[in-house]
Structure 1
Amino acid sequence: MPTIEHLTERTPHVSPEDLLDGFKPSYRFGDVSFDSYIPDPNQPSQSAAVTKLREFAESMAPAGGGFLGKLFGKSKKPAKAGLYLDGGFGVGKTHLLASLWHAAPGPKAFGTFVEYTNLVGALSFRKTVDVLKEYRLVCIDEFELDDPGDTVLMSRLMRELSDAGVRLVATSNTLPGSLGDGRFAASDFKREIQVLADQFDVVRVDGEDYRHRGLPEAPAAFDDGVIESFAAERFPDKTIAVDDFAALSEHLQRVHPSRYRQLIDGIDVLVLHNVTTITEQALALRFVVLADRLYDRDVPIVASGALFSDLFTPEMMSGGYMKKYYRAVSRLTALARNGQLAEPVS
């Protein structure tokens, strides 16, 4: 029999050390490497990107050996102190960024743009700088431009880290272009980080544009009376979180998003009763973070009520945060297809 828990009964207390311990590639990128990245032979920029990132990792290795090498040796230094991976969605930028993190010497941090802004919210800006400036490498996945305040904050954080000698590598957050303006390019990134721009080398990663693939189709709605028994039969001996959507939504507003990773710690499956469309932007943005954490850990979802394609209002899906919402819909739908149709999450 499965173990039943409720996310609404969890209020994780997370120390700064616990938060920082989570700044590493997620489960799905936990074992990737440059060797496991298979470049498309029709896209030479992909092979070139692997070479560039390998060289960047090697440049961080201490030069020389033995006592004198340790005493006088310095790390090899590339022409630029930072890299920006510029490319469309689904071409393997996160795989490459995680491979760099695995290959580079530590201490090092790997997180999404949102996770770093949440870290600042949890620790304060100055504490975050003081902690991260002791790192050799900071990787920022899915750099976002949809919130001017957060973009300015991250630009300032990156500037202070760069001044402290920390290497920085970033990718852009990109989603289907047919759903908006498509990816933002290196020129946009460099414009936003201003004084740091000349410290970044742009690495193109071309490939099939995700906009041509579309969003996964949401599975048919479940009868609310059977979702728990279905999940118990399908996932025996697992830990299943069973929650009412309205109650969970209220709970999420009392838990800082930086703690959502710990909120779902140990949960194998999520059962949600009576999903409804979210109409409040603040809650919607918190649900985006929860969707990312669930996706990071491949947590299957079994749900009743509204389909995840209707989780956010049409206004949200066409507004300033549309990229976040489309990402959340795509990821939650993939997890629902896995939970209800046994379809692998890609």
Structure 2
Amino acid sequence: MTTLQIVQLTDRNPRVSPEELITGLVPPPHFEDVSFDSYRPDPAQPSQSEARDALRDFTARTPKQGLLSKLFGGRQVAAKGVYLDGGYGVGKTHLLASAWHAHEKPATFGTFVEYTNLIGALGFQRARDQLSTMKLVCIDEFELDDPGDTVMMSRLMRELTDAGVKIIATSNTLPGALGQGRFAAQDFLREIQALADQFSVQRIDGDDYRHRGAPTPPAPVTRARLDECAATAAGVVARDEFPVLLDHLATVHPSRYGRMLGDVDEVLWDGVDTIDNEGVALRFVALVDRMYDRNVEIHNSGVRLDEVFTPEMLAGGYKKKYLRCLSRLTALASQEER
């Protein structure tokens, strides 16, 4: 029988060494057993099975290298990377993790922010040298929130592909449109376009599978009900006052949120309220992403979870990021119903 352990995330501030950053670039627990065969494409959306087949072929292909291929490589029958573009909840991360599992190792798998943090921790040269030894680099949730990151990641990916490393990336925006609505894209158009040219684009259409049968999060419960949840739960439960948790996130780098969650099976949030600061909201999004990786169940008092972002945020430049977060919150909060 699993014993109950109540913890507080606000008590946790983990430290991660640079070496652990490299070894930790693997699919999260939520995707540790997925495969191309376990992906279930929607028959009404042929682009889903097409994307699966394209990735299966790409992972099986050995990139051509050497002087002759460089001299006589004019045919360019295959791209250096694949870019999976589609809405949230169509299975892009499932396919990306499937490619990692199927591909010859060594290979890395991480989110965009994990790679930028790796560069920050190791320095560009060392991070590039480490990643250049990989046969495949998988980049999930490609986010261009900062112009400096745009230039840095564009350079990294060009140098990796020049070294023969294959790259697969996912995002909710087509490569040629990266950065639109977030900063002055025209000032970085050359870098953005150079990045886009590394990939063949594989579009994935479809509805958000996480919302099938559960279009909105369940209603919030009372604090008394959260007390009951804490008393009857099994495993490790993290219970925090929501405003205090948000303050704590500012003291922990987002690259360490996964380590902060650690062995947590379920979270209980007291007093959830609408976030009115975009910096706070983006840190919360990063936390939810890591919770989704680990399939952490959510119960909360306060407002319903689909009210956690302001209408202005949901209409702004980070709209897709916030909508993806709401999709994941709905899935994590609806597990008991399902």
TM exceeding 0.5: yes
Counterpart Cα distance in 1 of 2:209 and 2:147: 25
Counterpart Cα distance in 2 of 1:123 and 1:215: 42
2:169 alignment partner, SS class = strand
User: What amino acid sits opposite 1:58 in the alignment?
Assistant: A
Among 324, 332, 336, the alignment partner of 1:335 is 332
> Structure 1 323/149 Cα, relative in aligned 2: closer, same or farther at 3 Å?
farther
**Conserved 8 A contact 1:146-1:320:** no
TM-score, normalization: structure 1? 0.81
**Conserved 8 A contact 1:241-1:271:** yes
Counterpart Cα distance in 1 of 2:318 and 2:203: 25
Residues 107-126 of structure 1 aligned to structure 2 (within 5 Å) = 107-126=106-125
**Conserved 8 A contact 2:176-2:196:** no
1:239 is aligned to 236
User: What amino acid sits opposite 2:80 in the alignment?
Assistant: A
Q: Which runs of 5+ in 1 are unaligned?
A: 63-76, 174-183
Corresponding residue pairs, total: 316
Deviation at 1:150, TM superposition (A): 3.0
Is residue 2:8 matched to residue 1:6? yes
Counterpart Cα distance in 2 of 1:197 and 1:310: 35
Among 23, 31, 34, the alignment partner of 2:33 is 31
Is residue 2:105 matched to residue 1:106? yes
User: What amino acid sits opposite 2:279 in the alignment?
Assistant: A
1:14 alignment partner, SS class = coil
1:72 is aligned to none
Residues 203-282 of structure 1 aligned to structure 2 (within 5 Å) = 203-208=202-207, 216-233=215-232, 235-236=233-234, 238-282=235-279
Deviation at 1:210, TM superposition (A): 7.5
Deviates more, 1:244-253 or 1:186-195: 186-195
Among 31, 50, 54, the alignment partner of 2:56 is 54
User: What amino acid sits opposite 2:267 in the alignment?
Assistant: L
**Matched residues, percent identical?**
56
Root-mean-square deviation (CA, aligned residues, Å) is 2.9
**Conserved 8 A contact 1:138-1:167:** yes
1:80 alignment partner, SS class = coil
Deviation at 1:36, TM superposition (A): 1.8
Deviates more, 1:264-273 or 1:188-197: 188-197
Counterpart Cα distance in 2 of 1:44 and 1:220: 35
User: Alpha-carbon deviations, 1:286-340, whole Å to 9, x = none?
Assistant: 11110001111111112111222221222222221122222222222322222xx
Deviates more, 1:255-264 or 1:278-287: 278-287
**Conserved 8 A contact 2:176-2:192:** no
Counterpart Cα distance in 1 of 2:149 and 2:278: 16
> Structure 1 11/160 Cα, relative in aligned 2: closer, same or farther at 3 Å?
same
Counterpart Cα distance in 2 of 1:209 and 1:2: 34
Is residue 2:172 matched to residue 1:154? no
TM-score, normalization: structure 2? 0.83
**Conserved 8 A contact 2:211-2:327:** no
**Conserved 8 A contact 1:112-1:142:** yes
**Conserved 8 A contact 1:277-1:306:** yes
